[in-house]
Structures are given as structure tokens and as C-alpha cells.
Amino acid sequence: MDFQILDGKLISKQIKDEIAEEVSQMIKRGQKQPHLSAILVGNDGASETYVAHKVKACEQVGFKSSLIRLEDTVSEEALIKEIEKLNKNNDVNGFIVQLPLPNYISEDKIIESIDPKKDVDGFHPVNVGRMTIGLPAFVSATPQGILDLMNRYKIETSGKHCVIIGRSNIVGKPLSILLSQKSDIGNATVTLCHSRTQNLKEITKQADILIAAIGVKEFVTKDMVKPGAVIIDVGIHRVKSDQTKSGWKLKGDVKFDEVAPLCSYITPVPGGVGPMTIVSLIKNTLAAAKKEVY
């Protein structure tokens, strides 16, 4: 079967170009440049890469960005003080605290100390609650990016069976709510699977749309997929490779080579969900600057 790539790199570039145009119009009208700030604790390699991508995306669309680096020995109180400064800083429209944090810091407490009006990651319980009941809210970037990507390829979700593997607060849980919501990009029947799900394969084989967000490299194999399904791969795993210059290669939660020939559409890793996630953060920041949510 011929499959089509859901090209997140291409679509994210189109969306960034649209946003860049809008920002240049805003500036021509004398409005302020949107400003995204990020707090990065420590020097975790993956977090460094993600934050660098976010800063680069800001440059591409004409946003101001600022990066606040803190040592990985920073106390919870000192981190909350930095957050409170950003909450009050009128020049900053939105900000994120890159996760994960050192394990002696409570991520829940940190997220709750962010002003929901500046929580462009959409992680604060107020935003999660508002999203859940369909009120305007900042929506978590990865689920929003997946919905935008499917929408741009005109993939119908209404009445379809979407199976999500993974129940994280950042991806699986919000995605299950958004896809089942009564809206143009929802109206799906959703099954949320996780590590305790029994007969996983029987369930995934029923999926019209299968979303792998379990964080296990190449977890989804061809025997788990219904022919013609749409496959969304949220995983990012760095593996050693002697085929690339960098010595590393990225793999997803899906065994791409054997699954792709079975499906109608599939996201690659890299170049699928990842770039869409960054674009969602940019969209949320623009919405914050335009006061569209609050």
C-alpha cells in the first residue's frame, strides 16, 4: 500500500511563515514584538536541544526570546522566585520551564507557580481544566501540534476510533480529551491505553488513528496495526549510529520501516510531530501577546 508522510517539517515551516508575516504586520502597526522566555535548569542534552530549537523558532518568526539558565543545584524557592519575576515582567508575554527538573524539585509545584495567563506550555491546572471543558485555554503543545498536522492533511477524526498509547499529562491525557471533544478536529471515539492495558495489540489493531506516545523505542510493530491506519509517532529516542556524521540517529515509538508500508499516513521521526510541537508553542505565545485566551 502507498503511504503518505505527514511532513511536520514542511507544515511547521508554512505555519511559521504565516506567523512571521503576522508579526511583521503587528510591528508595522507599532505593536510590540511578542516575547517568549524559557527557564532551563542544568545542562541535560535533550533539554538543551529542545530549548535551542524553541529559541531558533522565535528568531524565525520575529519574536523576542530570552533564556534564563539556572544551575542544576538551584533550590525550589530560588526557581519559584525566577518564575514570579517572569509572572510580573510586563515585557514577557509567555514563558516555559523546560522539563524534566532535578528530582528534588516538585514539577507540580513549579507548574502551579506559573501565572496561567503566561503558561504557554498549557501545563497549569487552570489551563488543563479550561481545555477539558472547552473554554479558551493554552493547550499543551504536542497534542495541539498533532491536531494541526492532521488538520492540514485533512485527516478526518469525526467518528473514527483513535487509540492513544501513553497517558502522560503532556501528551496522552490532553490528546484523549481534545480528540473526543465536540469540535471540528475532535468527535473521535478514543481509547487511552497504557502500561497496564491488557490485550493491547487487539485494541491497537482496531485503530483508525494510532498515536504512539509511550516513550519506548520502536514499540509499535506491524502486527499491532490495522492496514490503512493513520500513525502518529510522538517518540524521540537518540541511538548510536555509524551511518550519520553526528554518530547519532533518531528513532520513534514506531518501528517505521515495517509499519509504514501498512498505513495510509505516518509521521516520520525526525520531522513529524517534533517541529509541530515547537510551532504550537509559538502559536500560544502569539495568542498570549494578542490576549486571545485571557
Contacts with ligand GUN by CB under 6 A lie at: 96-99, 121, 141, 170
Min. distance of Cβ 97 from ligand GUN in angstroms?
6
Question: Considering the complex, what minimum distance in angstroms separates the CB of residue 47 from ligand GUN?
Answer: 7
Distance between CA atoms of residues 156 and 136, nearest Å: 23
Q: Among 121, 148, 208, 253, which one carries the catalytic annotation? A: 121
Q: Which residue matches cell numbers 511547521?
A: 12
Active-site residue, 223 included = no
In whole angstroms, give the CA distance from residue 224 to residue 263. Answer: 12
Neighbours of 119 (CB within 10 A): 27
Who contacts 167 (Cβ-Cβ below 8 Å, separation ≥6)?
A: 173, 176, 192, 194
Minimum distance of ligand GUN from residue 260's CB (angstroms): 25
Complex with ligand GUN: residue 26 or 80, whichever CB lies closer: 80
If the CB atoms of residues 116 and 208 are measured against ligand GUN, the closer one turns out to be 116
Contact present, 285 and 20 (Cβ < 8 Å): no
The residues, any chain, with a CB within 8 Å of residue 25's CB and separated by 6 or more, are none
Instruction: Report the Cα 49 to chain-centroid distance in Å.
Output: 15
Distance CA 215, CA 227 (A): 23
CA 200, CA 193: separation in Å to the nearest integer? 7
**E strand or H helix at 212:** strand 209-212
Is 184 a catalytic site residue? Answer: no
Catalytic residue among 16, 54, 118, 173: 54
Q: For residues 77, 83, 85 and 88, what is the CA-based torsion angle, rounded to 10 degrees?
A: -130
Burial letters 216-232, b for 16+ CB under 10 A, else e: ebbbbeeebbeeebbbb
Residue closer to ligand GUN by CB (options 142, 204) is 142
In the complex, minimum distance from the CB of residue 212 to ligand GUN, in angstroms, rounded to a whole number? 16
Helical (H) or strand (E) element with 204 = helix 200-204
* C-alpha–C-alpha distance, residues 242 and 100, integer Å: 29
- Residue 98 is among the residues annotated as catalytic for this protein: yes
Closest CB to ligand GUN among residues 61, 213:
213
Nearer to ligand GUN, 48 or 258 (CB): 48
Q: How far is the CB of 259 from ligand GUN (least distance, A)?
A: 24
Cβ-based nearer residue to ligand GUN, 53 or 226: 53
Catalytic site positions = 54, 98, 121
